[in-house]
Amino acid sequence: HWGYGKEDGPSVWHKNYPVAQGDRQSPIDIVPHQASHDPSLDPVVLNYDQCTSTKISNSGTSVVVEFDDSDDRSVIRGGPLDNPYRLKQFHFHWGGKGCHGSEHTVGGNSYASELHLVHWNAVKYKTFGEAATAPDGLAVLGIFLETGDDHRWLHVITDALYTVKYKGSVADFKGFNPKCLLPSSLHYWTYLGSLTTPPLHESVIWVVLKEPITVSEKQLGKLRTLLFSGEEENERTRMENNFRPPQLLKGRKKSNSHH
């Protein structure tokens, strides 16, 4: 199975997932002043009001909060998107103690962590699985996390992490609305890319917010109490540095920017 270690990490994923060397791979380094400002780009709109989570799980590569996506109650629309995309889950990528952990970088600089809110095009596709293999199937909203003061709502997630310590664990996690994790501005960069983990499908319209949210080192440290390994396994491998480094643009135009 793939992972983030020396033997199974991003540098060898191409062996089982040749698309890893494709021409719309993610993440990328976003170069702000090179991002063409596109006046035709509309603001992105998030309708998360009726949004409530169902469960939290340890996927073996990240912690994932899932949502009921049986209707259009929680969608992202506007911006570069031709349809509303339904929220299915969110998860994080982070580093080791004090070091960086975001996937996208900005002008070569990385953040401590990155939150991905994963949405799928239920107008054009019947299931998430089908959408995940289509070039306009997914829309992922990326939000950078920088360290500073405590985030007033992140503790709701970090206080639940003990319930999903091991790979494969799942727990009820109802009533969490991710609206509380958004920064004040929805100004964004956007580009066509891929899943940042295997199977690395080139099916993602990326919308990366310019403004990070602030979380404390203590809150980030709680993410690192999760394990990559399952309860039955001998070794206890801390879940950290679960990020893919930036990939080549390969002829893609610089990301568009909505100020």
Ligand X SMILES: NS(=O)(=O)c1cccc(NC(=O)NCCCCO)c1
Q: Using CB under 6 A, list all residues that contact ligand X.
A: 59-61, 116, 118, 140, 195-197, 204
The answer to whether 145 and 212 have CB atoms below 8 angstroms apart is yes
Where would I find the beta strands (DSSP E) of 68-196? Answer: 75-78, 85-94, 105-106, 113-120, 138-147, 170-172, 188-193
Cα gap 26→92, rounded to integer Å = 15
Q: What, of ligand X, Zn ion, none, does residue 143 touch, CB below 5 to 8 Å by kind?
A: none
* CB 39 to ligand X: min, Å: 28
Q: By CB under 5 A, which span of 112-120, 161-169, 175-183, 201-209 interacts with Zn ion?
A: 112-120
* CB 101 to ligand X: min, Å: 13
* CB 7 to ligand X: min, Å: 16
Q: Which is nearer to Zn ion, 175 or 245 (CB)?
A: 245
Q: Which is nearer to ligand X, 9 or 217 (CB)?
A: 9
Decide if residue 119 touches Zn ion (CB under 5 A): no
Pull the structure tokens for residue 56. 């939290």
* CB 221 to Zn ion: min, Å: 20
Q: Which is nearer to ligand X, 104 or 151 (CB)?
A: 104
Q: Which is nearer to ligand X, 12 or 155 (CB)?
A: 12
Q: Which is nearer to Zn ion, 93 or 258 (CB)?
A: 93
3 Cβ contact partners less than 8 Å away, ≥ 6 residues apart: 9, 61, 228
* CB 210 to ligand X: min, Å: 18
Q: Which is nearer to ligand X, 201 or 222 (CB)?
A: 201
* CB 33 to ligand X: min, Å: 26
Cα gap 61→137, rounded to integer Å = 22
Pull the structure tokens for residue 127. 């299931």
46 Cβ contact partners less than 8 Å away, ≥ 6 residues apart: 75, 76, 141, 179, 182, 186
Applying CB under 5 A, among 116, 151, 222, 244 the residue interacting with Zn ion is: 116
Cα gap 157→136, rounded to integer Å = 30
Q: By CB under 5 A, which span of 116-124, 178-186, 234-242, 244-252 interacts with Zn ion?
A: 116-124
Burial label for 115, CB within 10 Å (0-12, 13-18, 19+), is buried
Q: By CB under 5 A, which span of 17-25, 94-102, 108-116, 166-174 interacts with Zn ion?
A: 108-116
Q: What, of ligand X, Zn ion, none, does residue 195 touch, CB below 5 to 8 Å by kind?
A: ligand X
Q: What, of ligand X, Zn ion, none, does residue 35 touch, CB below 5 to 8 Å by kind?
A: none
Considering only CA atoms, which of 26, 41, 136 is closest in space to residue 84?
A: 136
- Residue 33, helix vs strand vs coil: helix
Pairing of strands 63-67, 53-58: antiparallel
* CB 164 to Zn ion: min, Å: 17
